[in-house]
Amino acid sequence: MTPQQPRSALAQTASTVPPRDREAARLLALWVDLTVRLASAAAHHSSDEPSLRNLQIQIEEALVDHLADSDAVMAELWAWEATLLHVVEMPPETCLICRKARLGLPADVPLPAGIGGVR
Ligand SMILES: [Zn+2]
């Protein structure tokens, strides 16, 4: 399995989700944002981790209700989450993944147009 695989499955999912399903798009964007923060909190032992993880689980449950093929999408999302490897020995200030997030650079998850990738 390569980190690139989520692209194809998310793109396929786009064709099955009505573009008007703004709630799914909103939830997916929220999940991505939250998961980036959670990965940082978990890697660097932040006290925010439990609350971020609870939020992530709630959003995942909502996403499952809103997606036509939620099993496939969630599998891709979790595979992507596993690629968010932080340098645990470093403080967040020098960890490259944290720096990327602080700078507002894309988290490298190409969201399909139908569910939030494109306006
Ligand atoms: Zn980090």
Q: How confident is the model at residue 108 (pLDDT cuts 50, 70, 90)?
A: low
Domain ranges of the chain: 5-107
pLDDT at 110 > cutoff 60: no
Give the per-residue pLDDT at 31. 94
Radius of gyration of the chain (CA): 14
Q: pTM value?
A: 0.67
Q: What pLDDT is stored for residue 53 in this prediction?
A: 95
Cα–ligand 1 centroid distance for 58 (angstroms) = 23
- Distance between CA 71 and CA 96 in Å, rounded? 31
Tokens 């990965």 label which residue?
Answer: 39
Q: How far is the CA of 113 from the centre of ligand 1 (A)?
A: 29
| Residues whose CB falls within 8 Å of the CB of residue 56, separated by 6 or more in sequence, listed in order | 31, 34, 35, 38
- What digits encode the pLDDT tens for the residues 53-105? 999 999 999 999 988 888 888 888 988 888 888 887 888 888 888 888 888 77
C-alpha 34/C-alpha 42 separation (Å) is 12
